[in-house]
Amino acid sequence: MTPRESDHDLPNTEQEPVTFVDKRKIDPETGEPREGDAVPEPFAGTGAAPQPGSVDSEEAVEAEVEEDPRDTQVAELTSDLQRLQAEYANYRRRTDRDKQSVIDNAKASVVSQLLPVLDDLERARQHGDLETGPLKAVADKLAGVFTNIGLATFGAVGDTFDPAIHEAVSHEGDGSQPVVGILMRPGYKLGDRVLRTAMVGVVDAVQESDAPASEEQ
């Protein structure tokens, strides 16, 4: 083995010199701050705090907001308040409806008991007893009171017969087109409520084609 070959085979025991760079901002000997030193890079370890404005920082803030128990409590209280307001509004509507129903029933009860008086006044008017005198003034005032509270009369000769509001006492014809032929007693309504049906006699409506034939005879 030649000396040259042995030199190549031996491991190189020489090592490069190790140098250290002192990056401290304050000189340990003088205590003065150093100028021109590079600011060391922040350690990007697993426990490093997220930098402001980064995606991790925004996600952390959003998670903190979502998990804030105060926001959950506010949402629950708001939902309870809205539910109570809806229940109160329904209660007010139901109470107002019940009050109006009680008022309407009271009116209907009183007016129903006075309908015979109206019948007597109507018969007196038909006989001419209400054309003059103090009874005419009383009848007019009473009629004005009933009109103001919403009482209305119905039933007239020629009206289409309606079994819901007409009480048929007699019926002439085949019933193909029944109409009111005779009004024996008027009916009364208080608003949409029927207080008394009209008592009528029912006949068949006269066809237009039958009118010339009856005239020729």
* Domains of the chain, earliest start first: 150-206 (2.30.22.10)
| Verdict on whether the full-model pTM lies above 0.85 | no
pLDDT band at 17 (very low <50, low <70, confident <90, very high): low
pLDDT of residue 54: 54
Kindly give the interhelix angle for 69-126 and 134-148, rounded to the nearest 10 degrees.
160
> Residue 2: beta bridge partners?
none
Q: Which residue bears the tokens 């007597």?
A: 120
SS3 content of the chain, % helix, strand, coil (to 5): 45, 15, 40
Determine the average pLDDT of the residues in 195-211: 81
Q: Flag whether pLDDT at 108 surpasses 70.
A: yes
Q: 27-31, 52-56, 103-107: lowest mean pLDDT where?
A: 52-56
Strand order from edge to edge, sheet including 151-154: 151-154, 187-190, 193-196
pLDDT, tens only, 138-194: 888 998 999 898 999 999 999 999 999 999 999 888 878 899 999 999 999 998 899
Helix, strand counts (H, E) of the chain: 5, 6
Q: Flag whether pLDDT at 14 surpasses 50.
A: yes
Determine the average pLDDT of the residues in 203-217: 61
